[in-house]
């Protein structure tokens, strides 16, 4: 294989769940985070960063045997990325840890989940969310098949186009195909389907009524964590009782801002920047 010479190397905090937590906190949310880190320098740095963003880390445990999860991300000149992940301690986050964090769930409004932890742990969290009447958001990434039992516990699902194809068998090419995919997910018990379309925005189907909500036009530098930022900001908008379409526009603005910066967590924007972009769009 011919090597590629050049480019730049940098390190930054990441991990889908942590990215979403940081994005929600910077967007104005009061966030509690449940995760597992290794007892290593990466875990120390991750915990330090979470606390700097005023995230409740009581639900973060340290694994004495497994290293912290890491990812290697290659970013093209156009800003698109490809990712290789070594899950480490993340893959050892078992349902008993969720039970220990039950107090955080009891006092929450929104639960955001993604697929970098074991499916049985996600199922346990979703069932506790039902117990306490939380709104559940599932970001089905990294993509993998999901059981109807799990999907039936989800209020809102936020797949991108490739994840939608894996879950439904539908290639999203336009509003009609997006709605067909959404209908399949509705039939599995999910009330709200939000298909993220990158710079094109999102397609939303709420109780089988769909519409396209456009994104914001920005110069993309790095798309890493844009989906995570969208999900974190969406959770904040919904926790603030914003109408769904407004919460999605808020999340679109946050995601747009994130792709203008390098890195995962470093690119998550703060609330003032999100509101300024929304204000500029409204005035344009």
Residue with tokens 């996600």: 122
Order of strands across the sheet that contains 192-196: 110-114, 135-139, 156-157, 192-196, 202-206, 209-213
Selected catalytic residue, list 63, 155, 222, 228: 228
What sections of 41-188 are H helices per DSSP? 41-52, 95-100, 102-106, 119-131, 148-151, 161-168, 175-187
Burial level of 164, CB count in 10 A (0-12/13-18/19+)? buried
Partners of 82 in beta bridges: 74
- Give the residue from 110, 113, 209, 196 showing the smallest Cα distance to 158: 196
End-to-end CA distance of the chain: 49
Residues 43/85, Cβ–Cβ less than 8 Å: no
228 is catalytic: yes
SS3 114: strand
Give catalytic residues, as residue numbers: 228
């Amino acid at each position: 294989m011919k090597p590629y010479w050049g480019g730049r190397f940098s390190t930054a905090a990441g991990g889908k769940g942590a990215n979403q937590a940081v994005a929600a906190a910077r967007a104005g949310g009061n966030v509690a985070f449940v995760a597992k880190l290794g007892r290593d320098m990466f875990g120390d740095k991750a915990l330090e960063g979470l606390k700097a963003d005023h995230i409740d880390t009581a639900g973060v445990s340290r694994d004495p045997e497994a290293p912290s999860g890491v990812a290697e991300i290659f970013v093209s000149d156009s800003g698109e990325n490809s990712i290789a992940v070594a899950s480490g301690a993340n893959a050892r986050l078992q349902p008993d840890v969720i039970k220990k964090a039950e107090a955080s769930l009891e006092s929450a409004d929104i639960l955001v989940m993604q697929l970098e932890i074991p499916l049985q742990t996600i199922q346990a969290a979703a069932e506790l969310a039902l117990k306490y009447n939380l709104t559940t958001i599932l970001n089905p990434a990294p993509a993998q098949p999901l059981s109807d039992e799990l999907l039936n516990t989800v209020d809102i699902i936020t797949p991108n186009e490739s994840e939608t194809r894996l879950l439904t068998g539908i290639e999203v090419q336009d509003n009609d195909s997006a709605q067909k995919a959404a209908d399949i997910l509705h039939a599995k018990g999910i009330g709200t389907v939000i298909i993220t379309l990158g710079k094109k925005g999102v397609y939303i189907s709420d109780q089988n009524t769909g519409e396209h909500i456009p994104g914001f036009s920005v110069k993309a530098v790095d798309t890493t964590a844009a989906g995570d930022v969208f999900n974190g900001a969406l959770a904040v908008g919904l926790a603030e009782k914003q109408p769904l379409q407004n919460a999605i526009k808020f999340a679109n603005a946050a995601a747009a801002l994130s792709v203008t910066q390098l890195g995962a967590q470093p690119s998550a924007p703060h609330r003032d920047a999100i509101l300024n972009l929304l204000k500029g769009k409204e005035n344009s």
